[in-house]
Structure 1
């Protein structure tokens, strides 16, 4: 079982529009509603793979009820923590050329009691979990040290932690030695405070995160592939992708694939790459099933192309 923690979940509404004309009345040609948040997406990807997952998340108001209902419909067990504020609703406007305009709400402010209730629920429901995946931004009311506290408590209980967050929350949590952290290129550059122009730059940055406490770093480099840097060195994975339809949730699908495959080593990296490549070829935030995966398109090597320039360098 993979338990996910999403401190700031959302109800995501996506509207397909012919064009985004500012100041005009726009009539949608299609729409959908999904439960949102990085940890929620990891649970959705795990469930799509036919594996057991439990989603722990604070929920409030009618949007929170809808998030729980949508997750249950996808076969995901939900452990809700009731909060006084209303779960945020996010809006995405998708144009035919692939452009996506997103409006993300701030979300509710959690009280000290609600923060502690969230930590306690993770503790109470984590028995038997192969991994605890803590993902996404922190809502108002939670200090940057909140993830660090969660990692410390989880490790004290014998659980393994995968952390996908950024900024001060990531840096604060590193001191508690999360088992794997999963930054993208932009988050990796932010963490080390310098630009990344090559794959080698990303490897060096990942090694610095390990020096700060991360036991392993799984870094998404967008179209260039993914890096895994751990006690066994560095491995680089990439995959052939025919057509990119949407990158929404692709990183979350990658993390799910990594954890499903055991969460360590080149085989887990290959699973991460396969899941991420499958996700970008699906519409919206649809998560891939085993039938969508193409392992033969994936290459993983210890001969990391250090001098390769990143397709989208981070300044």
Structure 2
């Protein structure tokens, strides 16, 4: 039979970075440092404590978790200003479901996160993409012109940007929020990795009613497998997301694991400084090899330019090092791993480049 698939989905391959069994996996920006034995034990105890209640639905408002997330974020964020879901992917989809839809438009500026147009498509929202400058910064005048032309109900701006690692100045965020007729999402999935002196958009939240600042526990908290993303925004925005969320969308187990992680935040985030230092060292080393590298405030580096980037990617994979073939043509992205993993990456890259 011919399935009645939506026309815009015909021939589309599902999203997914390669999941390959290789010695060095540096392709999806994971934190290479797993939780300590103490954290593992606390997670096990927390999960055990809720297992006896799994015959009941979880707290659909995840009240305790919202309190803990608000406390972690600071900046005057209250529990009613927090929303969470199964990864920042679900958070973004809920934003598009609430504020997008038929006849509406979402906007971002390329290069940008590759899932954004898919969120828009899945929420039947039009998609418009502007451009970034050669150094991957965002020209304010261009951004305002795109917003004025298309009147988007959702603007999606990752900061630090994925795949480039570029952070946005607060003046740019202010200007975009002032011009946008709808909500503006500053996606800070990699926010904890910002270089010293790079501000968070959370500083603008209290004075900017259409601003949403999203985060994730997948990266700095090393909880990619737990699937917990969240945002801070006005009470009105959070209440709008409650309308489109699926019932009981955050399991009791997810809530318990995230709560443990937040109680151990100091320990789990202790490796962030190590990863920052390793990132900066990697940027410097790549530049010493004569390569272009984007300034990064994230836990990855975008580097190039290659006439045949796929050949470089494949050459690294042949040596057991998996990185990401993403971003503009001629560029590749490497996640920051342990010192041993980065040494393996460097040795493999030198081999591929014939050094």
Give the structure with the higher percent helix.
Answer: 2
For the superposition of Structure 1 and Structure 2, which TM-score range results when normalised by the shorter chain?
Answer: 0.3 to 0.5
Give the structure with the higher percent strand.
Answer: 1
Taking structure 2 as the reference length, what is the TM-score of the superposition? 0.33
Taking structure 1 as the reference length, what is the TM-score of the superposition? 0.36
Name the larger-Rg structure.
Answer: 2
